[in-house]
Amino acid sequence: MAWVPLECNPEVMTKLLHKVGVPKKWNIVDVYGVDPDMLAILPRPVLAMILLYPLSEKQEAPEMNEESQADDDKSISPNVYFLKQFISNACGTIALIHSLANNTEELQLEDGFLKSFLDKTKDLSSTERGELLIKADDLIETHKELAQEGQTEAPSENTPVFNHFVAFVQKDGHIYELDGRKDAPINHGVSTAATFLEDAARVCQEYMKRDPEQLRFSMVALTPAE
């Protein structure tokens, strides 16, 4: 099963948020750089960071992904919401779901199909959550609708895509990388609500250092609307 990929476009992503029940006082904004001056202009608090990075041999090298294989359940808070990706090109919407699902107390989701999906899947395994997403018609239709918007023409469902979204959130005193292609969240160390943005920027920099000649990295953040 494949979806039309979502563009890394804050306006499109914000529309998706509001359609699934996120109050309009929250939105998605561009992150223009990881240096302190660029981070300082973002509205606070930043609840999540999403990185779009180009898939390459350097990014996909086994040694770069060893930590995802080495994680054991004891290093992951049981309160982290994580789902597996079984749908091609769904990584953008899954990154948004991960961002929202791990910040429900702050966001105060309105009644709607995202809240219903999270309530239905809160006690399930990451695999079961991913399998239910395949059948979540309301979320699927919302993704399809928003994937047609943006600044570039949407590719077809079967067009090969060479970019991937991952989400970063702070939960229970640690920063987690959430990538539905992996078996579990990755714990990137101690973090707090106050330091999360800088911590997320640090992890994004690590991605960039793996493939320094590559320029096609993009970042967006979940923040209050100004």
pLDDT in tens, 110-140: 999 999 999 999 999 999 999 999 999 999 8
Active-site residue numbers? 91, 164
- State the pTM of this model: 0.89
Tokens of 134: 């395949």
Average pLDDT of the segment spanning 30-43? 95
Which of 56-65, 89-98, 182-191, 210-219 has the lowest average pLDDT?
Answer: 56-65
Confidence of residue 86 (pLDDT cuts 50, 70, 90): very high
pLDDT computed for residue 61 by the predictor: 43
Higher-scoring residue by pLDDT: 121, 212: 121
CB burial readout 63-84, b (16+ within 10 A) else e: eeeeeeeebeeeebeeebbbbb
pLDDT computed for residue 73 by the predictor: 44
pLDDT computed for residue 156 by the predictor: 44
Q: Which CATH architecture has domain 10-224?
A: 3-Layer(aba) Sandwich (3.40)
